[in-house]
Amino acid sequence: MRLLVVGAGPAGVRCAVRVAERMPEAEVTLISGEAALPYDRVALSRLLAGDVEVRDLITHRVPDLRAHGIAYRPATPVAAVDREARVVVTAHGERVPYDVLVLATGSRALRLPLPGADLPGVVLYRDLADVRAMLAAARSRTPAVVIGGGLLGLEAAAGLAARGMSVTVVHAVDWPMERQLDPEAGALLAKRLGGRGIRFAMPAATVSIEGHGRVEAVCLADGRRIPAKLVVMAVGIRPDVALARDAGLDVGRGVKVDRAGRTADPAIWAIGECAEHDGMTVGLVAPALAQAEVAAEAIAGGAAAWAPRADAAALKVSGTAVWSAGEIAARDAEPITLRDELADAYRRLWLRGGRLIGAVLYGDTADSGFYLDLISSGRSVQEIRAALALGPAFATYPKEEAA
The fold of the 122-233 domain, in CATH, is FAD/NAD(P)-binding domain (3.50.50)
2-108+237-299: CATH topology is FAD/NAD(P)-binding domain (3.50.50)
Instruction: Answer for the pair 227, 134: CB distance below 8 angstroms, yes or no.
Output: no
φ/ψ of 13, rounded to 5, equals -65, -45
Cα pseudo-dihedral 361, 311, 175, 48, rounded to 10: 90
Q: Which residues neighbour 191 within 8 Å (Cβ) at sequence distance 6 or greater?
A: none
Q: In this predicted structure, what is the pLDDT of residue 251?
A: 97
Distance from C-alpha of 228 to C-alpha of 261, rounded to nearest angstrom: 44
CA geometry: angle 98, 99, 103, nearest 5 deg = 65
Task: Tell me, yes or no, if the two domains 122-233 and 312-402 fold the same way.
Answer: no
Spatial contact of 176 and 150, defined as CB atoms under 8 Å apart: yes
Residue 400's pLDDT is what?
Answer: 56
Of 204, 140, 191, 192, the C-alpha closest to 166 is 140
Distance CA 257, CA 264 (A): 7
Backbone φ, ψ for residue 93 (5° rounding) = 90, 0
pTM listed for this prediction: 0.89
CA distance 76 to 31: 6
For residue 402, what pLDDT is reported? 43
Q: Looking at the domain 312-402, which fold is it?
A: Enolase-like; domain 1 (3.30.390)
For position 403, what pLDDT does the model report?
Answer: 42
DSSP state, residue 365 = -
End-to-end CA gap in the chain: 52
- pLDDT one digit per residue (tens) for the chain, 403 residues: 999 999 999 999 999 999 999 999 999 999 999 999 999 998 998 899 889 999 999 999 999 999 999 999 999 999 999 999 999 999 999 999 999 999 999 999 999 999 999 999 999 999 999 999 999 998 888 899 999 999 899 999 999 998 999 999 999 999 999 988 999 999 999 999 998 889 999 999 999 999 998 999 999 999 999 999 999 999 999 999 999 999 999 999 999 999 999 999 999 999 999 999 999 999 888 899 999 999 999 999 998 888 877 778 787 776 789 999 999 888 899 999 999 988 889 999 999 999 999 999 999 999 999 999 999 999 999 999 999 999 999 999 887 544 4
Question: For the chain, which residues make up each domain, given as ranges?
Answer: 2-108+237-299, 122-233, 312-402
Q: What is the dihedral of CA 176, 182, 187, 188, to 10 degrees?
A: -110
Examine residue 10 and say whether the peptide bond preceding it is cis (omega within 30 degrees of 0).
no
How far apart are alpha carbons 293 and 297 in whole angstroms?
6
